[in-house]
Amino acid sequence: NAGVTQTPKFRVLKTGQSMTLLCAQDMNHEYMYWYRQDPGMGLRLIHYSVGEGTTAKGEVPDGYNVSRLKKQNFLLGLESAAPSQTSVYFCASGRTGGGNGNEQFFGPGTRLTVL
Amino acid sequence: GDSVTQMEGPVTLSEEAFLTINCTYTATGYPSLFWYVQYPGEGLQLLLKATKADDKGSNKGFEATYRKETTSFHLEKGSVQVSDSAVYFCALARGGYNKLIFGAGTRLAVHP
């Protein structure tokens, strides 16, 4: 049981390049999330999904797109990377029910640098 | 909008010292409250949670009580260990789909 995995672990991009971050979970969770972590700001929600084929905007969605074609995978895309997108990206998953009290399970993160 | 405010770090303590990390929140309604911990080089993991007023969450010697009257969820531990060195995040969830709003995080360093 691998939990939540993310690929790649590190990536350096030049301004204007594109890339896709992959998140996979093997816990059969309905909910999946993408966060970015910046110094002094905690984690902020970029996009989330409440089930296969669904996506929704979070707090800071601009410059990112997402897709959830399979229940276990949640992809985060940067179409034209900017230096402001230099950050550590975390994927998380969680189950439904339980009101707002359910735990989220986090992946190990992807450190992205945009030059 | 909803928000979480944590005490700024870093917090530096000697082993066996008492720990308090303050957390206050702003939210309408009745959010669920969480403490997550991030060890060096890892993702976040749930430390404890409370889902209604006056609930106490506890785990690994850490405790926090949901105080609606003071909108607080302070983290405490009676005797810290070097292995507790990490970044601690206070968070709330409200409004469906378990979306989390995090505080800025507090780095704790415990020295022998």
Q: Which of B95, B98, B104 minimises the CB distance to A41?
A: B104
pLDDT digits (tens, 9 = 90+) for A14-64: 999 999 999 999 999 999 999 999 988 889 999 999 999 999 999 999 999
Closest CA to B21 of B6, B32, B40, B33: B6
Q: Is the pLDDT of residue A1 over 80?
A: no
Distance of CA A81 to the CA centre of its chain: 15
Closest Cα in chain A, distance from residue B23 (Å) = 13
What is the model's pLDDT at position B30?
86
- Using CB atoms, which residue from A31, A42, A108 is nearest to B43? A108
Query: Inter-chain contact B44–A102, Cβ cutoff 8 Å?
Result: no
Residue B5, pLDDT above cutoff 90 = yes
B7 vs A35, higher pLDDT: A35
Task: Kindly state the tokens that stand for A61.
Answer: 């969605």
Looking at residue A10, what is its pLDDT? 96
Report d(CA B87, CA A13) in Å as an integer. Answer: 28
Q: What is the pLDDT of residue A39?
A: 87
**Interfacial residues of A (vs B; Cβ cutoff 8 Å):** 4, 31, 33, 35, 40-45, 48, 50, 56, 58-59, 90, 92, 94, 99-109
Predicted local confidence at residue B55, as pLDDT: 96
Residue A98: pLDDT band with limits 50, 70, 90 = low
Tens digit of each residue's pLDDT (9 = 90 or more) over A75-91: 999 999 999 999 999 99
Q: Is residue B76 within 8 Å of B65, Cβ to Cβ?
A: no
Do A31 and A49 meet the contact criterion of CB atoms below 8 Å apart? Answer: yes
> Does residue B64 register a pLDDT over 70?
yes
Residue B44 touches partner A, C-beta closer than 8 Å: yes
Closest-CA residue to A111 (of A59, A38, A33): A38
Q: What is the pLDDT of residue A2?
A: 82
B41 has pLDDT over 90: no
In angstroms, what separates the C-alpha of A21 from chain B's closest C-alpha? 16
